[in-house]
């Protein structure tokens, strides 16, 4: 039986559930890459207060969009996107960035990411964004393949080193 879901803009009352999802997302990346190059391992143990302030600011921003996916009144996924003015040497006036897309494992494969994509691309188009970027972890093959199907192409490699 296919689960029904609703995609909507995040509200301030959603922040506690958004924090829970973001912590799940962080855990996913810690498990995905246990190497010394994963900056997620350097995060503070309790990000909750930082995340609450950040979500509050982003929900109220005109240049940021946070969408949530709800199943039976419970938030099971979220995505954050933003846009900003481009550098003056680019033809495009606005550049967009998909900051994150996360869907609880139990609710993957029911079309949530496809609906997120549609809503994100529509929002970027309304805001005259012509270029969109996103980051994907080198070991997250599922997401990398998904983004390629969405029309994204590999452009650069981001590297990290921890200084002592």
Q: How far apart are CA 153 and CA 8, in angstroms?
A: 28
Higher pLDDT, 26 or 141: 141
Q: Is residue 156 part of a domain?
A: no
Q: Is the pLDDT of residue 42 over 90?
A: no
Average pLDDT, whole number, for the chain? 87
Range of the domain at 65: 6-149
pLDDT band at 39 (very low <50, low <70, confident <90, very high): low
Q: Is residue 111 part of a domain?
A: yes
Higher pLDDT, 36 or 66: 66
Query: Residue 154 has what pLDDT?
Result: 93
Q: Is residue 75 part of a domain?
A: yes
Q: Is residue 157 part of a domain?
A: no
| Mean pLDDT confidence for 131-147 | 91
Number of domains forming the structure of the chain: 1
Q: How far apart are CA 68 and CA 45, in angstroms?
A: 25
Using left for φ > 0, alpha for ψ between -120 and 50, and beta otherwise, residue 111 falls in left
Domain CATH for 25: 3.40.630.30
Q: Is residue 141 part of a domain?
A: yes
Q: Is residue 136 part of a domain?
A: yes
Got the DSSP string for 109-155? TSSHHHHHHHHHHHHHHHTTEEEEEE---TT-HHHHHHHHHTT----
Q: Is residue 158 part of a domain?
A: no
């Amino acid at each position: 039986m296919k689960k029904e879901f609703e995609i909507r803009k995040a509200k301030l009352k959603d922040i506690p559930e958004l924090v829970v999802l973001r912590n799940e997302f962080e855990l996913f990346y810690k498990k995905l890459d246990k190497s010394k190059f994963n900056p997620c391992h350097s995060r503070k143990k309790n990000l909750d207060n930082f995340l609450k302030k950040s979500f509050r600011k982003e929900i109220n921003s005109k240049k940021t969009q946070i969408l949530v996916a709800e199943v039976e009144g419970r938030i099971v996924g979220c995505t954050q996107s933003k846009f900003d003015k481009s550098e003056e040497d680019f033809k495009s006036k606005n550049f967009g960035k998909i900051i994150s897309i996360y869907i609880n494992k139990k609710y993957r494969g029911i079309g949530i990411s496809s609906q997120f994509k549609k809503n994100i691309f529509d929002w970027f188009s309304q805001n005259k964004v012509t270029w969109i970027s996103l980051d994907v972890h080198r070991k997250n093959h599922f997401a990398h393949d998904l983004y390629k199907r969405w029309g994204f192409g590999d452009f650069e490699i981001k590297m990290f080193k921890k200084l002592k």
